[in-house]
Amino acid sequence: MQTLIVDNGSFKIKLGYSNSELPLDFPTLLGKPKQIYNWQGYGDKGDYVGEDAANKGGIIQARYPMEYGIITDWDDMTRIWNYGFNKFNGSREDELILMSENCGVPKSHREKMTQIMFEDFNFGGMYVALQGVLALYGSGNTTGVVLDGGESCTRAIPIYEGHALHNSVLELKFVSRDVIVDNMVELFKSRNYEFRTTSEKRIVREIKELFGYVALNYEEELKLSEESILIDYELPDGTIINIGKERFKSTEVLFSPNIFGMEEAGVAEIVFNSIGKSDLDMRREFFSNIVLAGGTTMFRGFAERMHKELSELAPTMKIHVKDLPNRNYLTWKGGCIFASLSNFNNMCIKREEYEESGPTIVHRRCC
């Protein structure tokens, strides 16, 4: 049976068959046209979904059915899954599905997702796995600490022999979908560049992804001349703007939230503190296998800064930070590896088992 791998994210969803090189990805987004009477309806409720919604920019009322990795609107999320599944031609009854989920998801949510996959989409079998565990599989390991930098929050997840140590997981919710974009918008405002609308903020997001980076030493980077890091960027209307220290000032919130008035630890500190909550005999192995996953970790210089700060926090430990290419797809890729295990088919909940036991079977079968 073919296996469809689905990595559910608050900002983007990634899905594809386990034998694919890369997944299809699109925004976890729906939107209703603000002026409905001017539009032909699209799908149920006149909504645009996924990439179709993102392309409409500021002319829709956007809805994100996931926040902090938790599904908040099941009807909307079901429609997003349906939008994605329709991109694939297979027969769901003859397919398995591997769904990713965040740490700390309520049991009732796992049950609801299981129910939807069997009753709404009629999959032949399914399995649910933690995103951090799958990301670690994607790196080729089963023991380590995954720093999963998603769009709605960032988590440090210690994992030992394929099992997450839930009591040691730490998260930063301030690293939200727009925090770096908002920082960059404010920095641009001080130079009389205004970005107010949704479509204008999408431009800032693109600037962030193209030119943003993490300084190895923030104070030293501030001393650089503006000209040494200045980049010209042409806006859609042809205007040329200069992008300078905004490139690294906006991302510094990841490591030094105190600079922005936030009384929280930075990403290096939560990795250090999560390891500190684990057993003593595990810590050395954890420090030597820190895996970066998710789009927030993709900034140039992120891994080097992480290594530097952890080396200062734990000077007696050997620090190794893995910054694999395409790590924004690492969880999905780990799902492909997980689905290739010889016993994966037996691990899955089959339709007959679901019909006999109901959705609570997910807690017995999926760790």
Structure letter (DSSP) for residue 62:
E
> Is the Cα dihedral 112, 114, 116, 118 positive or negative?
negative
* Whether 157 and 304 share a structural domain: yes
The more confidently predicted of residues 250 and 42 is: 250
Q: What is the mean pLDDT of residues 333-343?
A: 96
Strands (E), the chain: 2-8, 12-17, 24-27, 30-33, 48-49, 60-63, 66-67, 70-71, 95-101, 125-130, 144-149, 154-160, 163-164, 170-172, 231-234, 240-243, 290-293, 321-322, 349-350
Global pTM reads 0.89
Contact 113, 144 (CB under 8 A): no
CA distance 305 to 292: 12
Give the model confidence (pLDDT) of 36-73 as tens digits.
544 444 444 578 888 888 877 666 788 889 988 899 99
- 262 three-class SS: coil
Indicate which CATH number applies to the domain containing 83. 3.30.420.40
Q: Does residue 257 carry a pLDDT above 70? A: yes
Residue 153 inside a domain? The answer is: yes
Same domain membership, residue 284 and residue 183 = no
Q: What is the band of 339 on the pLDDT scale with cuts at 50, 70, 90? A: very high
Token reading at 142: 């089963």
53 occurs within a structural domain? no
One domain for residues 115 and 75:
yes
| pLDDT interval class at 1 (50, 70, 90) | confident
**pLDDT tens digits for range 135-183:** 999 999 999 999 998 877 899 999 999 999 999 999 987 655 568 888 8
What is the extent of the structural domain holding 224? 179-254
Residue 208 belongs to domain with CATH number: 3.90.640.10
* One domain, residues 186 and 306: no
Total structural domains within the chain: 3
Residue 205 reports pLDDT greater than 60: yes
d(CA 171, CA 339): 27
Q: Taking the CA of residue 31 as centre, how many other CA atoms within 13 Å lie in the half-sphere pointing to its CB?
A: 21
